[in-house]
Amino acid sequence: MITKAQLRAARGLLGWSQERLAKSSQLGIATIKRMEGERGPLRSSAENVLKVQQAMEDAGIFFIEQNEDAGPGVRLKDPIRDN
């Protein structure tokens, strides 16, 4: 599952506000704020997390899972474009 830090980092790479992510994932702004809050995506349903992840991946984000050498992260698949 993606982390709250990954969500914030991905938004930063895309230059998206929480409002933009809410619109792109077809969720409410309160849901996005909860996902980026203290408890992170664990506070949301798996369906909502998948909607957010899919919206960001469609915009060019690649989520990197934690492994034995490094923690989780994000990167852009493509150069930044106006989404």
DSSP string, 10-26: HHHHHT--HHHHHHHHT
Give the pair of three-digit tokens for residue 80.
């930044």
- Secondary structure letter of residue 77 according to DSSP: S
Q: Rounded to two decimals, what is the model's pTM?
A: 0.85
Phi, psi of 64 (to 5 degrees): -105, 125
Q: Where are the domains of the chain?
A: 4-76
Higher pLDDT, 80 or 29: 29
pLDDT of residue 4 exceeding 60, the answer is yes
CA distances from residue 55 to 8, 10, 30, 68, 69 in whole angstroms, order as listed = 14, 11, 17, 28, 28
11-57, pLDDT tens digit by residue? 999 999 999 999 999 999 999 999 998 888 877 899 999 999 999 99
CATH 1.10.260.40 fits 4-76, yes or no: yes
